[in-house]
Amino acid sequence: MKVAIIGGGSWGTTVASLASINADAILWCRSDIVASDINDNHKNTRYLDNLPLSKTLHATTDLEQCLDGAELIVMAVPAQGFRSILIEVSQIIQTHEAKLQTNNAPETTKPKTTEPQKNKSKTSPPSKSPIPIISLTKGLEQKTTLRMTQVISEVMPDNPSGILTGPNLAREVLEGHATASVAVSEDEKIAEATQDALSIPTFRIYTHTDVVGAELGGALKNVIALAAGMVEGLGKGDNTRASVITRGLAELTRLGISMGGRPDTLAGLAGMGDLIVTSISSQSRNRFVGQQLGKGLALNEVIEKMDQVAEGVYTTEVALGLASKHGVEMPISEAVQTVVSGVLTAEEAYQELLKRQMRSELD
């Protein structure tokens, strides 16, 4: 199998390195410097320091070269740029398929003959099955509020889709620490193909069919991770942080179920597992942003310090819009939005949450 991975950030590079162990993997990067570093030094020092990558991984800045012959496409680009890159992918594939059809078309310029033709009939080769597209992106499109698999369905409706998600910190995966992930697709064969292509002994991939629940869990946990980071930045204790994470899980579960997800999905790797690691790890971008906001920095000051995207910054407003649409209460997410938008400081938002009326935990 040839696997094309689109996006040379930390997680895209990590997944590409895993894929190259089991398959013929090629990684598309925007930067010539990053691609050369991967090809020449087997490292992506810009995003992953000096951690070694698989020596069989090849990188390119030529998207057409990356997609040539691909049997599985893995999208690892930020949510707000996902659609534009996918449109490029679609156009390249359509152009390639059109060329193949032209080359395989029967010739019509030869003169006709009245002699019977025996065993000369030709049929065009069977059309190639649409290439599955797997998203690694944990976010929601701001303009449309769509999940990434929904974007895939709009841009490339004939191609089956799925996601890979879970508590997966890129550096720890590359360092060989045991990690669990989940490949999710409504088509179990696609989930199993992803499992086969990317699993290694220390990176254990489970399969699932609840795309809605898994995708929402991966996106919404970033919002709660911002809140957990703010708690840390404010200097509050572990009790506070644990309370925010747990009540945050209740929030994302309520919204996830209201939109068609399953509660067991949101209590599993795609929900609770991912929420925990994103909320507590020093490697988490969303936790870092929240922590800096808790210390009093403005959002633009924090973003300027970063080389990669913290999806929660863009997901919060979308999540609240969906919550309003589905009649779901999300007070922690609302508090995060007031801080991100500069309406309140983190301390003020914290105090407002403490004023809320107490009620049953099951409400």
Active-site positions read 221
Max distance between CA atoms of the chain, in angstroms, equals 93
- Between CA 122 and CA 124 the distance in angstroms is 7
Least Cα distance to 318 among 216, 229, 231, 246 occurs for 216
Q: Which two tokens stand for residue 26?
A: 């090629």
* Residue 62: count of CB within 10 angstroms of its CB: 11
Kindly report the backbone phi and psi dihedral angles of residue 137, in degrees, each rounded to the nearest multiple of 5, phi listed first: -85, 130
User: How far apart are the C-alpha atoms of 241 and 279, rounded to whole Å?
Assistant: 9
d(CA 71, CA 82): 20
Q: Distances in Å between the alpha carbon of 223 and those of 71, 137, 230, 310, 339?
A: 34, 15, 11, 10, 12
Cα–Cα distance list, 238 to 283, 293, 345, 358 (Å): 18, 18, 20, 21
Cα–Cα nearest to 231, from 322, 292, 276: 292
